[in-house]
Homo-oligomer: A and B are copies of this chain.
Amino acid sequence: MDGVEALLTELRAALGRDAVLTDADVTAAYRHDMMPLAPHGQPLAVVLPTSTGQVQAVVRACAAHRAPIVPRGAGSGLSGAANAVDGCVVLVTTRMNAIVEVDADNRLAVVEPGVVNLDLRAAVEKHGLFYPPDPSSYDWCTIGGNLATNAGGLCCVKYGVTTDSVLGLEVVLADGSLLRTGRRTVKGVAGYDLTKLFVGSEGTLGVITRATLALRPLPQAPATLVATFDSTVEAGAAVARVVREGVVPSLMEIMDRTSIEAVERYLRTDLDAGAALLICQSDSGGEAARRELAVVEQACADAGAGLTYVTEDLAEGRELLTARRSVLMALEVYGAWLTDDVCVPRTRIAELITACERIAAELGLRIAVVGHAGDGNMHPTIVYDPGSADELARARRAFEEILAVGLALGGTVTGEHGVGKVKQEWLATEIGPVGLRVHRGIKRALDPGNLFNPGSMFSC
């Protein structure tokens, strides 16, 4: 173990003793993210650098000692991408949490990767600006993790995913050199789009140490609509009609019967929602918002909605969204949960929900489907008893069957959570042998020693 000791000595010299954790009790907190199905190993150390220079020192030391590096933000991920592998160094970016610059006149911010999403949102809001990406964990996830996974959220239907808000990056490469990608301008086509190659690469190509992010004007206060349906087919038809009518809401979420029942029990309320609930917002303001939601309301009615309700009252709108935001907590009453993530064409949402009902019945599980209906990104959430090996096995089977259904419906095996250490085989199925070959070629070109997050996303 001389090599390990030598590496630890180098890491301590570069970062200070406080920033190099080796006690297994302490490093345990950094071994895995929020995905229970993904494997995780035992790191030889967890390091918490505070600067790009320190990240470079860690990368160079690990490269010299052939110790794999697993980059990690807050650990809110849902694919195991940040899970430790045996003998690795987990590189945690949470201490690099400076908002370096907010340039309101050019609508951009420069941040370190450890900045918490909510902190950035709050900081730019003071300038009347808006950073759209809003994963559910926005109050504790980091921008670095959002970049690594190309995170989405409720905003995506109108504002896109993380990659749509990134202008440029600073990345430490496998040889310790520092790559600057992109620019500070709105447009630019100088060379390959390396920025968007690194976004979503799940820590397999380098360590992002700084990002230049595009901001938007703060939208108007949202108006909110809810609609209830007696069948998922009707709710799915309503979504398709909204898309067809050319409305782009700022939020359009769907909850199936199982989610509705769980939330009704949890919040001790009667949503009177039947088989499906749609929640929709417009942040276009005033007459434009009224016009948009009127189109949505008509589309819901035409599709057979039982009840529709529109409000411009902010507090009431927030309350209506509470049902959607409470689903995961509501499910915890029944057991542990496991969230899947498939994205299907928006015309196929009802078919996905129906298939999840079938899978739940066949495997004797509770599966609640919630999702971003506006972009087809569905999160069937499987409830299971973590103490029962049999139930965990059935949950895992449901997880896989849902992915197969998503692909069969013309969708993708991950809309926003990523591949990580739980969907490698599904990635291979989705992209095929040529796609996999190209992935491996790019990985080899950038990380020939397979230093970064080995075995995650795909095997080399």
When chains A and B are docked, how far (Å) is the Cα of A179 from the Cα of B137? 35
A393 contacts B by Cβ under 8 Å? no
Q: Which A179-204 residues have a C-beta within 8 angstroms of B?
A: 179-181, 183-194, 196-197, 199-201
Which residues of the partner chain B approach A291 to less than 8 Å between Cβ atoms? 285-286
Query: Which of A188, A200, A376, A427 lies at the interface centre, i.e. has the most chain B CB atoms within 10 A of its CB?
Result: A188
Given known contacts A240-B105, A246-B217, A345 and B193 CB-to-CB distance under 8 angstroms: no
Query: Which of A128, A192, A444 lies at the interface centre, i.e. has the most chain B CB atoms within 10 A of its CB?
Result: A192
Which residues of the partner chain B approach A191 to less than 8 Å between Cβ atoms? 419, 427, 430-431, 435, 439, 457-458
Which residues of the partner chain B approach A160 to less than 8 Å between Cβ atoms? 164
A142 contacts B by Cβ under 8 Å? no
A33 contacts B by Cβ under 8 Å? no
A32 contacts B by Cβ under 8 Å? no
When chains A and B are docked, how far (Å) is the Cα of A437 from the Cα of B427? 28
Query: Which of A128, A197, A372, A375 lies at the interface centre, i.e. has the most chain B CB atoms within 10 A of its CB?
Result: A197
Given known contacts A188-B415, A190-B430, A427-B191, A180 and B435 CB-to-CB distance under 8 angstroms: yes
When chains A and B are docked, how far (Å) is the Cα of A344 from the Cα of B405? 46
B192 touches A218 (CB 8 A): no
B439 touches A446 (CB 8 A): no
A445 touches B441 (CB 8 A): yes
Q: Which A397-443 residues have a C-beta within 8 angstroms of B?
A: 410-419, 423, 426-427, 430-432, 434-435, 437-439, 441-442
A93 contacts B by Cβ under 8 Å? no
A394 contacts B by Cβ under 8 Å? no
In-complex Cβ contact of A190 among B286, B374, B427 (8 A) = B427
What string of 1s and 0s marks CB contacts (under 8 Å) between A217-253 and chain B?
1100000000000000000000010011111100000
B188 touches A193 (CB 8 A): no
What string of 1s and 0s marks CB contacts (under 8 Å) between A331-353 and chain B?
00000000000011111000000
B416 touches A187 (CB 8 A): yes
A187 touches B105 (CB 8 A): no
Which residues of the partner chain B approach A163 to less than 8 Å between Cβ atoms? 193, 196
Q: Which A105-157 residues have a C-beta within 8 angstroms of B?
A: 105-107, 128-129, 149-150, 152, 156-157
Query: Which of A150, A190, A194, A246 lies at the interface centre, i.e. has the most chain B CB atoms within 10 A of its CB?
Result: A190
What string of 1s and 0s marks CB contacts (under 8 Å) between A371-396 and chain B?
01011110000000000000000000
Number of copies: 2
What string of 1s and 0s marks CB contacts (under 8 Å) between A5-16 and chain B?
000000000000
A149 touches B189 (CB 8 A): yes
Q: Which residue of B lies closest to A246 (CB)?
A: B217
B243 touches A107 (CB 8 A): yes
A88 contacts B by Cβ under 8 Å? no
When chains A and B are docked, how far (Å) is the Cα of A189 from the Cα of B186? 23
When chains A and B are docked, how far (Å) is the Cα of A164 from the Cα of B413? 21
B446 touches A438 (CB 8 A): yes
A187 touches B128 (CB 8 A): no
A105 touches B412 (CB 8 A): no
Which residues of the partner chain B approach A322 to less than 8 Å between Cβ atoms? none
Q: Which residue of B lies closest to A178 (CB)?
A: B434
A161 contacts B by Cβ under 8 Å? yes
Which residues of the partner chain B approach A414 to less than 8 Å between Cβ atoms? 188-190
Q: Which A201-217 residues have a C-beta within 8 angstroms of B?
A: 201, 216-217
Query: Which of A160, A178, A347, A431 lies at the interface centre, i.e. has the most chain B CB atoms within 10 A of its CB?
Result: A431
Q: List 12 A-B contacts (CB under 8 A).
A: A128-B246, A160-B164, A173-B438, A178-B434, A185-B343, A185-B375, A187-B375, A190-B423, A191-B435, A191-B439, A192-B442, A444-B445
- Name the 5 nearest CB pairs between A and B, nearest first: A217-B246, A441-B445, A186-B375, A188-B412, A288-B288
Query: Other than the known A188-B415, A191-B430, A196-B197, what 16 A-B pairs have Cβ atoms closer than 8 Å?
Result: A105-B243, A163-B196, A184-B410, A185-B412, A185-B415, A187-B343, A191-B439, A192-B197, A193-B197, A193-B199, A217-B245, A286-B287, A286-B288, A287-B287, A438-B445, A441-B446
